[in-house]
Structure 1
Amino acid sequence: MLTYEPDESLAHRLDPRAKLAVQIGFAATALAHTTPRALIAFSVLTAVAMATARLSLRRTLVSYRLALVVLALAPLLAGVTVGPPWFDRLAAVASGLASYRVLLILLVSAAYVRSTPVRHSRAAIQRTIPGKPGQLLGVGVALVFRFLPVLRGDLRTIREAMAARLGTERSVVDRASTVGMLGVTRAFDRADRLSLALRARCFAWNPTLPALAFSRVDYPVLGLAVVLAVSAFY
């Protein structure tokens, strides 16, 4: 599971607001442009983003393995037709290019997650979006970043416990339903414990967040974000 890891990379030194702006601009222009030349440029930008965060491609792909399965199946399903010619190659290629764009967006997002502490993400959101909407969104993002790895760990524990009890010999439907029911039960239990912990720690909607300030290295990144956002309309 991808999480924040302390480091001294360039991406770690950037202001989270600049990184969020690049993510938004990259996603917007990547979804707007579908030509092979544009995809090559987006691939180069993705490689640069991963390099600045010192993010391992292999580890990232392993973390996204379930999403990769969906992205790989999408072109095959898109190409299947009810009648002759039974498989539409153009539709499969178009879906494959769309899947590749989504993969690039996921890789850029992974670079952000690895290089940005959760508290900094919350501070960036709440100081960009004023009022209660920003506070609500900031709290939601912070809880997702902290809660999702715990749920992933619970599901992994359930699967390992089933395997130790020869659960792998049961049918796929039986295994999926068991994991799903136990996973939902664990999720509700975790949510109750989280609610109790927040009350015990006097949860505040507007806590003292870390100070954020743009440095000289952030301004070229902001310029890149603007260029990416504008290029989505051309």
Structure 2
Amino acid sequence: MLSYTPGDSVAHRLDPRTKLLAQAAFAAAAFVHTTPRGLAAFTVVGGAFLVAGRLSPVDAIRGYLPALPFLAAGPLVSVVELRPWTVGIDPGAAVGPLLASYRVLLILLVSAVYLHTTPVRESRAAIQRLVPGRPGRLLGVGVALVFRFLPLLRSDLRRVREASAVRLGGERRLRERMEVVASAGIRRALGRADRLALALRARCFAWNPTLPELRFGRGDAVGLAVGVGLVAVAVAGVVA
């Protein structure tokens, strides 16, 4: 699971608000320009994001392995054409879904750079400054808890599967293996939720804690320019 890794890359030194703008602008522009030429250009831009964060594409893709089967399912299902009493194959029908899946993959790679280069506390601070009032605080807390909680849940499921395999769980039927992993995963998730609630009460959880100070630096000027440029590309595509 992708998580923050300390470093001194260009993306590490950017303000999280700059990275949020660039990430959102990239996603908007990619959704507007879902053509082979447009996605080829966004592949180059996405590669630049990875270079700025010193993140390997292999590591980024590995962090999103659970989502890859769903991205591959769309093009595969679309080629199947149901006819009366027969089933046909139309390879041309996979072009649109394939481009859409690749677009989503590019967006995931860019979001991986953000996760890799941004501490959780800075993400919370950025969200609470962008969204004022109690909604911003609630959203910031939710994002912080998800970033911290989700990797732990995935780690629990992986350990359950490994323990089941050691106990010859692989010889059971698929349904039984799924029941074992799911039930153990739910029990551990509920247990972690109870411990989290107790820890929040013990630490006198506050809606408005002292968050890290955020400042725009010189590098953020380039990042903001990239974000604004991507927004302009998205708007131009919508207008055209």
Q: What is the TM-score normalised by the length of structure 1?
A: 0.97
Q: Which moved more, 1:200-209 or 1:61-70?
A: 61-70
Gaps of 5+ in 1: none
Task: Tell me the residue number matched to 2:6.
Answer: 6
What secondary structure does 2:136 align onto? Answer: helix
What secondary structure does 1:45 align onto? Answer: helix
Alpha-carbon distance in 2 for matches of 1:170, 1:62: 28
| Structure 2 counterparts to residues 52-91 of structure 1, below 5 A | 52-83=52-83, 86-91=88-93
Task: Tell me the residue number matched to 2:194.
Answer: 192
Task: Tell me the residue number matched to 1:93.
Answer: 95
List, as ranges, runs of 4+ consecutive aligned residues in structure 1 with deviation greater than 6 Å. Answer: none
Task: Tell me the residue number matched to 1:20.
Answer: 20
Alpha-carbon distance in 1 for matches of 2:181, 2:44: 39
Task: Tell me the residue number matched to 1:113.
Answer: 115
After superposition, give the CA deviation of every residue in 1:15-68 in whole Å (9 maximum; x if it has no partner).
000000011101111111111111011101111101111101222222222211
Note the C-alpha offset of 1:88: 2.8
After superposition, give the CA deviation of every residue in 1:82-122 in whole Å (9 maximum; x if it has no partner).
11671232321110110000000000000000000000000
Residues 96/211 of structure 1: CA separation in 2 closer, same or farther (3 Å cut): same
After superposition, give the CA deviation of every residue in 1:110-140 in whole Å (9 maximum; x if it has no partner).
0000000000000000001100110000000
Q: What is the TM-score normalised by the length of structure 2?
A: 0.94
Residue 45 of structure 2 aligns with an amino acid whose one-letter code is: L
| Structure 2 counterparts to residues 137-152 of structure 1, below 5 A | 137-152=139-154
Residue 158 of structure 1 aligns with an amino acid whose one-letter code is: V
After superposition, give the CA deviation of every residue in 1:126-170 in whole Å (9 maximum; x if it has no partner).
001100110000000000000011101100110011001100111
Residue 227 of structure 1 aligns with an amino acid whose one-letter code is: G
| Structure 2 counterparts to residues 144-163 of structure 1, below 5 A | 144-163=146-165
What secondary structure does 1:86 align onto? Answer: strand
Note the C-alpha offset of 1:70: 1.7
Alpha-carbon distance in 2 for matches of 1:56, 1:143: 26
CA RMSD of aligned residues (A): 1.2
What secondary structure does 2:89 align onto? Answer: coil
Alpha-carbon distance in 2 for matches of 1:188, 1:229: 41
After superposition, give the CA deviation of every residue in 1:1-23 in whole Å (9 maximum; x if it has no partner).
11100001000000000000011
Residue 201 of structure 1 aligns with an amino acid whose one-letter code is: R
Gaps of 5+ in 2: none
Alpha-carbon distance in 2 for matches of 1:98, 1:130: 34
Residue 75 of structure 1 aligns with an amino acid whose one-letter code is: P
Q: Which moved more, 1:43-52 or 1:224-233?
A: 224-233
Within the alignment, does 1:39 sit opposite 2:59 as a pair? no
Residues 171/85 of structure 1: CA separation in 2 closer, same or farther (3 Å cut): closer
